[in-house]
Amino acid sequence: MRKLYLYILGIFLILPLAIQAQTEKRIKIACVGNSITEGFLLKNPSEESYPAALQKLLGNNYEVGNFGVTAHTLSQKGDLPYMKTTRFQEALDFLPNIVTIKLGTNDSKPQNWQHHATFKDDLNLLIDKFQALASHPHIYLCLPIPSNRKEWGINDSIIVNGIIPYIREVAAERSLPVIDLHTAMLPYYPQLYVDGVHPDKYGAAIIAETLYKCITGEEPHPTPGRSDQTLWYDEPAVQWEETLPLGNGRLGMMPDGGIVKEHIVLNEISMWSGSEANYLNPDASKSLPEIRRLLFEGKNKEAQELMYTSFVPKKPEKGGTYGTFQMLGNLFLEHQYGVHEKDVPADYHRWLDLSKGIAYTTFSRGNVNYVREYVVSRDKDVMLIHLKANVPGSINFKMNLSRPERGSVRKLAEGKLELYGSLDSGSSQTGVRYAAIAGITCKGRQTNQSTDEQSITVQNADEAWIVVSAKTSFLAGEIYETEADRILNDALKSNLCETVSEAILSYQALFNRAGIRLPENEAVSHLTTDQRIERFQQQDDPSLAALYYNYGRYLLISSTRPGSLPPNLQGLWANEPGTPWNGDYHTNINVQMNHWPVEQANLSELYLPLVDLVKRLVPSGEESAKAFYGPQAKGWVLHMMTNVWNYTAPGEHPSWGATNTGGAWLCAHLWEHYLFSGDRNYLADIYPIMKGASEFFYSTMVREPKHGWLVTAPTSSPENAFYLPGKDRTPISVCMGPTMDIQLVRELYTNVIEASHILHTDTAYAEALQEAIGLLPPHQISKKGYLMEWLEDYEETDIHHRHVSHLYGLHPGNQISVLKTPELAEACRKTLNRRGDEGTGWSRAWKINFWARLGDGNRAYKLFRSLLYPAYTAQNPTQHGSGTFPNLFCSHPPFQMDGNWGGTSGISEMLLQSQDGFIHLLPALPDSWKDGSFYGLKVRGGATVDLVWKDGKPVQATITGGWQNNLKMKWPKGVKKVLLNDTACRTDSFIPFTVKQGECITFIFE
């Protein structure tokens, strides 16, 4: 018993000494700074400030002290000198081993900057105080982060041009290391800030990561980021619609994050089967007079039957020339774990970081932490997969490439495999040829790598890089294979870590232009993305809408770039050779919806691939015009679908293929690009295209017998049908002059007239178009109060039809608005109520935009919630319905990308509108979006708008001028006083103002 007592006593005596020894071994870091260091405005500074975040990264071997003091200066003559505070003395008493000094932000204030002559002396004094300590600390000088706050006097220009040079001079004179926090935070300004000066918890984490890298020389273990910029999951993907999309505008990949067997689908935007072909039907125009006669007589059924046999494209004998967008191939990884093979994986995370454009998979097995990083570089034009672990020699895998059809694999060299083939042209021509080449480079003393004809095996590597290059003959011509190999070799020779950094910066140059912040419901925002989608139907989650918006911009940046092709029905991503609806460009809503958010989201150059596509369609459209509408037809026509092979003929079934306003709708996008860019050279370039489209309608529209209105005939209201009066219940689609056609023609004529005036050309033709506008049918309201879809108030076969084409004039057009045409707006409201809130994924997305234009934010938000309805449940994972997949892809079903961009557009329409000739702030704000902000959103005229709002009312707006200097803003609802650059504005319905290009002005709302 005595021995036991002595043993226990010994433990109690020794344990404190052991703890003390352990504590003494810890490396102490003193974070010296101002309010940014202290964690001002953070909800929980002790957990969220950058010193706290740094402590978490460094672990128990370090002790990080936060010695920040709000509003203090480095300067001893400043209004609040840091070296006169008790926190400074506490920092000295801490006896740190490392000191990070981050002061200078408050020295940029006018009252402090007047003493800048002593700034360097004061910084040297501060350094001397720490270097005199017995602990002899290693000192890092931190450059202040980007900061601007006019009312506080904080000026980033002084920080950049005055304070930072002083700090660098002192660092050079004293041979001290510099941590460039200004450059590190610049890509995240202002989106990761609370008020323009103080970072939020995610910005603080960026600062902590930057300090960690400089102090340790290592990359921090990656973790998922903020809830509105991260899609994340706690298990590998089971279905393709759970995988994460990456892309550089041409190349794409989607990893599933498998632990043992990993599947990564590869994509390339020009992987199209099919080929150029002649679809002209010489008999079509001969039947046109009879079709029109039957329509004039109200015999739509007979006209439709005649069209089924005569007014259809003539297919090539072999068929298959139309083609389909296809996947590039599959990359499979079989991972091995050696002695940890039987260990259960733990701490699994898989996520997509929208702020960087990178996907990650992390987990542990035994004592090994594994990290996989996936990125598609725009600069090097390759796909990269980076595999690493914290224990040397832990990377073991076999890689192979494959394709379900028309693909062969061969060994090119040690560490290089090629997947190659030729797609079906549908004719005697050679189809699109492609080459995808994967190369592997490894690090590690014990690494063993071998390559056979089908696979590459890597054993005992510390880390490995898989680099994939791909080219097709469609975009690269005959040198596609040589180019793919050259690009891969160049990438393999480069510093791949720097390649990733370059890829991030290249992506952020676009992504960081704009963004939105919405209230965060912390009860659900921390959940995995699939769980958030499921909970959203019962529990509000405004920041999920911000995530959806940011994701939409990400998808645009990833799926198209100048010199490439526009995003198709699949965007850039496909997981099979035969994609739904051929993965083509439907021109009766879908490809247009793909581009709705582009301009307002500050991604204007992403319009250019669509512009190029339209240019290529014109010669084919001219041939189709004459073949189907007669030799008198002028200009060019596009019906309801097209592909990369310039298809412009009607669809094969007139019930949906007769719509002939696809070209008119695309011209609306050409014009929209001008309204935002103001580029007259561009306008002169696309004017002939717009004029040609108008010439087609001007030369082919006919006067209907009842009113003498000019109408399109034959045509259809996209994919919808009606019943003729009487007992016959045959669905009829073929008609003349449906509302959407007339809206598009009116819009096209109007835009051509305005363009002709701007360019000082075609005056007589513009006058003729103006006269023709007066002969178009007006909008008609039915006896029941809804907007009529056809010339006659026919009975629809489905009042809940997914297309709501006759509301084009409300959105994306601007012929109907609450302010200018209230009666028509009310008719649209009744139409939408009658149509209902259900429908396919993209249909729900369009309705968000409609309700936003009607100023009903709560109804628009209800539709957004409907859009995010889970496409399947865990109990029935193979039964896909309308809504949203776990990876936030829109489900028609099946997956169709247009709904994502329609939803993105709808969110921006709820926050900012400019289609009626004025800036409208928060035109359709839902009640639960009480507080928030956005930055970088564009309006017509080219101005950029940043906005902060609280309690549902705008607080401050900053407008940066675009090409149009004279603008006006609608007086915000609930605001009593408006200050423009500190001058009170006259109370009125609208606030006129002038802002030069590049100039910034500020509105304060009270």
Residue 321 maps to a domain: no
Q: Same structural domain for residues 172 and 26?
A: yes
**How many Å apart are CA 765 and CA 267, to the nearest integer?**
46
Domain residues for the domain of 153 are: 2-216
**How many Å apart are CA 420 and CA 436, to the nearest integer?**
6
**Strands, DSSP E only, in 536-639?**
585-586
- C-alpha distances in angstroms, 30 versus 469, 537, 811? 46, 46, 57
Where would I find the H helices in 630-679?
Answer: 654-657, 662-677
Q: Same structural domain for residues 209 and 101?
A: yes
Residue 811 maps to a domain: no
Tokens at 47, concatenated: 């957990």
CATH code of the domain covering residue 940 = 2.60.40.1180
Report the pLDDT value the prediction gives residue 24, as an integer from 0 to 100: 56
Task: Specify whether the backbone of 275 is left (phi greater than 0), alpha (psi in -120 to 50) or beta.
Answer: beta
Residue 75 maps to a domain: yes
**How many Å apart are CA 966 and CA 980, to the nearest integer?**
14
Tokens at 443, concatenated: 């690090």
**How many Å apart are CA 130 and CA 909, to the nearest integer?**
54
Residue 799 phi, psi dihedral angles, 5° rounding: -70, -15
Of the residues 193, 216, 239, the one at which a domain ends: 216
Q: Same structural domain for residues 258 and 309?
A: no
For 166-209, give the secondary structure using H, E and C.
HHHHHHHHHCCCEECHHHHHHHHCCCCECCCCCECHHHHHHHHH
Q: Same structural domain for residues 135 and 242?
A: no
Report the pLDDT value the prediction gives residue 891, as an integer from 0 to 100: 93
Reported pTM? 0.93
Is residue 72 within 8 A of residue 82, CB to CB? The reply is yes
Q: Same structural domain for residues 444 and 404?
A: yes
**How many Å apart are CA 61 and CA 27, to the nearest integer?**
6
Of the residues 750, 781, 812, the one at which a domain ends: 781
Residue 29 maps to a domain: yes
**Strands, DSSP E only, in 243-338?**
246-247, 251-255, 261-268, 329-336
Residue 891 phi, psi dihedral angles, 5° rounding: -110, 120
Sign of CA dihedral 581, 587, 591, 592: negative
CATH code of the domain covering residue 766 = 1.50.10.10
Q: Same structural domain for residues 162 and 235?
A: no
Residue 687 maps to a domain: yes
Is residue 974 within 8 A of residue 938, CB to CB? The reply is no
Sign of CA dihedral 633, 636, 642, 645: positive
**How many Å apart are CA 563 and CA 250, to the nearest integer?**
9
895 forms bridges with which residues in the sheet? 891
Q: Same structural domain for residues 460 and 593?
A: no
- C-alpha distances in angstroms, 606 versus 266, 510, 554, 601, 625? 22, 10, 12, 10, 29
Q: Same structural domain for residues 438 and 496?
A: yes
Q: Same structural domain for residues 344 and 471?
A: yes
Number of domains in the chain: 4
3-class DSSP state of 113 = helix
Residue 954 phi, psi dihedral angles, 5° rounding: -65, 140
CATH code of the domain covering residue 153 = 3.40.50.1110
Task: Specify whether the backbone of 762 is left (phi greater than 0), alpha (psi in -120 to 50) or beta.
Answer: left
**How many Å apart are CA 920 and CA 817, to the nearest integer?**
13
**How many Å apart are CA 408 and CA 402, to the nearest integer?**
7
Residue linked to tokens 């991030």:
504
Number of residues in the chain? 1006
Report the pLDDT value the prediction gives residue 841, as an integer from 0 to 100: 85
CATH code of the domain covering residue 373 = 2.70.98.50
Amino acid found at 114: Q
To which H or E segment does residue 641 belong?
strand 641-642
Residue 460 phi, psi dihedral angles, 5° rounding: 60, 35
Residue 533 maps to a domain: no
Task: Specify whether the backbone of 274 is left (phi greater than 0), alpha (psi in -120 to 50) or beta.
Answer: left
Going from the first residue of the chain to its last (1006 residues), give the mean pLDDT of each consecutive group of 10, the final group possibly shorter: 45 42 75 97 95 95 97 95 97 97 96 95 97 96 94 94 97 97 92 91 94 92 91 96 97 98 98 95 92 95 93 83 96 94 93 97 96 98 97 96 97 96 94 98 95 96 98 97 97 96 96 95 94 95 97 98 96 95 93 96 97 97 96 96 96 87 97 97 98 98 96 93 90 94 98 98 98 97 95 90 92 96 97 91 93 97 95 86 94 92 98 97 97 96 97 96 96 92 90 96 94
Report the pLDDT value the prediction gives residue 877, as an integer from 0 to 100: 86
Q: Same structural domain for residues 660 and 624?
A: yes
Q: Same structural domain for residues 677 and 594?
A: yes
Residue 19 maps to a domain: yes
Residue 848 maps to a domain: no
Of the residues 486, 509, 532, the one at which a domain ends: 509
Q: Same structural domain for residues 149 and 257?
A: no
Report the pLDDT value the prediction gives residue 316, as an integer from 0 to 100: 82
Residue linked to tokens 């605001």:
975
